[in-house]
Structure 1
Amino acid sequence: MILEHRTYTFKPGTVDKWMKKYEAEGLPIQKRHLNRFVGLYVSEIGVLHTTVLMWAYDSLADREARRQAMYADPDWQSFIAEIWALDAILQQDVMIMNPAPYSPPV
């Protein structure tokens, strides 16, 4: 298993609008295609205007196949075009994490 850890940094004042749109439109599309939704977290202390989104996959190949299918989905293409048009995201960082042998399964 691998964990995809995505950090998004937003312009101040745009996180709530993005989160509402993501919950209503983006997350349902991703749940159709991606494997296990681990969660979406919002910064409260520290680097503000930041979210962390996590998905678990069986392997890198599993992740690649699932994301390719999602990218080909017209619903996703429409959603992501609208997200970029919001001009809210300042930075996006993606890490692929391998669990330690004693980590609990996700």
Structure 2
Amino acid sequence: MIFDHRTYVCRPGTIKKHLKLYETHGFEVQKKHLGAPLLYAATDTGNVNSYVHIWIYRNAADREQRRAALQADPQWQAYLHKSAEAGYLVSQDNKILTPVSFFALDRDV
């Protein structure tokens, strides 16, 4: 099992607009291909212009296959176009995490 941990930073004052755009146009299509995220959360302290989401995959091949299907979906491409037009995002940081030996997720991937 691997976890895809993503942190995004929005321009100050735009995070609520960005998350609304994603909720309206991106979340359902992304969930269709990637499954439900383990976590999707806005930062409450520190950089309050950022948010994090974590997706779970069986392995790197599963991640690659699901993400390729997402990228090929016209609905996802339409969302990416809307997001780029809005220009709310400043940066993105991705990390692939592997669970430690004593962690067990009580959820099917």
TM-score (norm 1): 0.95
In structure 1, the residue matched to 2:20 is 20
How far does residue 36 in structure 1 lie from its aligned partner after superposition? 3.9
How far does residue 44 in structure 1 lie from its aligned partner after superposition? 1.1
Q: Distance in 2 between matches of 1:73 and 1:92?
A: 21
How far does residue 25 in structure 1 lie from its aligned partner after superposition? 1.8
5 Å matches for 1:14-53?
14-53=14-53
Cα deviation digits, residues 46-89 of structure 1 (max 9, x gap): 12200001100000100000000110000000111110111111
The one-letter amino acid of 2:97's match is M
Q: Distance in 2 between matches of 1:49 and 1:88?
A: 10
TM-score (norm 2): 0.92
Q: Distance in 2 between matches of 1:84 and 1:39?
A: 24
The one-letter amino acid of 1:103's match is F
Gaps spanning 5+ residues in structure 1: where? none
In structure 2, the residue matched to 1:98 is 98
Gaps spanning 5+ residues in structure 2: where? none
Tell whether the 8 Å contact from 1:35 to 1:57 is kept in structure 2 after alignment.
no
Moved over 3 A (4+): none
Q: Distance in 2 between matches of 1:50 and 1:101?
A: 30
Tell whether the 8 Å contact from 1:36 to 1:57 is kept in structure 2 after alignment.
no
| Mean Cα deviation higher: 21-30 or 49-58 | 21-30
Quote the sequence identity (%): 36
Q: Distance in 2 between matches of 1:45 and 1:36?
A: 25
The count of residues paired between Structure 1 and Structure 2 equals: 106
